[in-house]
Amino acid sequence: MTSQLRRLAVLIALTFRGAFVGGRLWISALLAALPPVLLAALAAYGQTGAPLLAGFGEVELTLVLSVQLPLTTLILGVGLFRNEVEEDTLPYLTLRTIARPSIVLGKYFGGWAAALAFLLPSFAVTLAIAQVGAQGATFPPGFIAAALALVVLGSIAYLAVYLLIGLVTPSAVVVGLVYAFLWEFVLRLFPGHIPQVTLYYYLRTVASALTSGSPFGGYASVVSLATAVAVLLVVPAAALVLASLVVGQVETAPGRSDG
């Protein structure tokens, strides 16, 4: 058990380090810079006090939730297994003395840590800009918690979905973009129950439940906070189980043991 945990920790560390190379690093860093730069631009053009705090909420809702979060997790998530899949080296990875579900978990947690390494500093700097320009104005109760919940829960859910996509399709980036900007973006605009098949619906439900402040509060949702959080945890858990099953079907040498 101890040796398995040690191997899992090594895989997490290697995956985390691998996220900070090449195009993934620069694109994720650019996405991380966008929210604070946009809010700083609003402050530079004279928007301060309560309007700047409202601008922070709009940036988090329209830029972070709809663009930065899905694209950052897409770039990092689909790449977690792509090298092994494209170079047909996944069977060699499974030959290592680590349980196959641990391979998926190690990749996932390493990727999630890398995603948070971009998303959380971006959030903190954007929030700091809003606080500096607040001029005595304050956020509504629960407002910061709602914005932070979008980042944390969204990264948990989206990254697992993109990990699965990257594992099962050779056109992972294209499929991921279709999912992000057609499924998640378009279906949420439909009336009735159709938006409930998107993660966006449950993320907005969580934010609305945590604060009544605009633009997070007042979202028309028919599910409770507990249900929304449960969905945002069950979906990634299911994606990771499916990913483990896929990895479990990879051919390796006879007699291999996961012990």
Distance CA 166, CA 185 (A): 20
pLDDT exceeds cutoff 70 at 66? yes
Residue 259 lies in a domain: no
* Helices marked H in 66-142: 69-77, 82-86, 90-94, 100-132
Distances (CA, A) of 200 to 61, 172, 181, 197, 255: 10, 20, 11, 9, 44
pLDDT exceeds cutoff 80 at 59? yes
Residue 254 lies in a domain: no
Residue 171 lies in a domain: yes
Residue 129 lies in a domain: yes
Residue 57 lies in a domain: yes
Residue type for 94, please?
T
State the average pLDDT over residues 88-116.
Answer: 78
Q: Give the CA radius of gyration of the chain.
A: 20
**DSSP three-state, residue 239:** helix
Residue 170 lies in a domain: yes
pLDDT tens column, 224-245: 999 999 999 999 999 999 999 9
Contacts with 243 (C-beta within 8 Å, 6 or more apart), sequence order: 104, 108, 160, 163, 164, 167
Q: What is the DSSP letter of 188?
A: G
pLDDT tens column, 5-15: 887 888 899 88
pTM of the model: 0.90
Residue 214 structural domain: 2-248
Residue 36 lies in a domain: yes
Residue 25 lies in a domain: yes
Q: What is the DSSP letter of 196?
A: G
pLDDT exceeds cutoff 50 at 253? no
Nearest residue to 71 via CA among 101, 98, 21, 35: 35
Distance CA 176, CA 75 (A): 9
pLDDT category, 87, cuts 50, 70, 90?
low
Name the average pLDDT for the chain: 88
Tokens of 126: 């954007």
Indicate the number of domains in the chain: 1
